[in-house]
């Protein structure tokens, strides 16, 4: 986690208090209602201290994830032998997790953190999206090898589209995205 090098060295006690306060407020109110002022008030630190170490509230949330103090929706890609059913089950499970306001809020915060800082983006990708993407590509490749997918279908493009579907749902509260089965069928259907 890259932080500013301005000012005094970071106090570990203050850092822990800030992260604890942010995690508690996030759980109570969600990311959208989380404010630096409230984090400062609850942690007993000043806003200037927080801004000295984290440029945005999204970077605080990213720090919580990197420290293992937050979970993001994660479901293993099943392998029952049927590619379309497995991908549909996976997408349904992730979509259900994203209906939890806290999980959707955390996901939006992490997307914001990734867009704010390229180093954060690389770290967050390696911890969250990267492993999920690879497991999807692996499962799709296995299904393709078993003849459950047209030979000309690009496994990476299908994995990208599935993850994009999840992110679309997280970034557009109130949207009515297509049913997971319809999305998977459109991507891997044998037609």
pLDDT digits (tens, 9 = 90+) for 64-88: 887 878 777 678 899 999 999 999 9
SS3 labels along the chain: CCCCCCCCCCCHHHHHHHHHHHHHHHHHHCHHHCCHHHHHHHHCCCHHHHHHHCCCHHHHHHHHHHCCCCCCCCCCCCCCCCHHHHHHHHHHHHHHHHCCHHHHHHHHHHHHHHHHCHHHHHHHHHHCHHHHHHHHHHHHHHHHHCCCCCCCCCHHHHHHHHHHHHHHHHHCCCCCCCCHHHHHHHHHCCC
Q: What is the pLDDT of residues 103-152, one digit of tens each?
A: 877 888 788 778 877 887 888 888 888 889 999 999 999 999 999 998 99
pTM of the complete model? 0.76
């Amino acid at each position: 986690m890259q932080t500013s090098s301005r000012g005094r060295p970071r106090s570990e006690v203050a850092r822990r208090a800030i992260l604890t306060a942010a995690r508690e407020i996030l759980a109570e109110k969600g990311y959208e209602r989380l404010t630096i002022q409230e984090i400062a008030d609850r942690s007993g630190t000043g806003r200037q201290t927080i801004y000295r170490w984290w440029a945005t509230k999204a970077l605080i949330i990213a720090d919580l994830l990197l420290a293992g103090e937050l979970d993001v929706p994660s479901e293993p890609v099943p392998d029952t032998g049927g590619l379309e059913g497995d991908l549909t089950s996976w997408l349904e499970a992730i979509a259900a997790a994203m209906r939890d306001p806290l999980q959707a809020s955390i996901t939006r915060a992490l997307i914001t953190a990734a867009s704010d800082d390229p180093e954060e983006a690389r770290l967050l990708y390696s911890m969250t999206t990267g492993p999920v993407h690879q497991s999807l590509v692996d499962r799709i490749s296995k299904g393709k090898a078993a003849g459950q997918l047209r030979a000309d279908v690009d496994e990476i493009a299908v994995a990208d589209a599935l993850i994009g579907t999840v992110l679309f749902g997280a970034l557009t509260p109130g949207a009515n995205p297509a049913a997971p089965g319809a999305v998977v069928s459109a991507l891997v259907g044998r037609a």
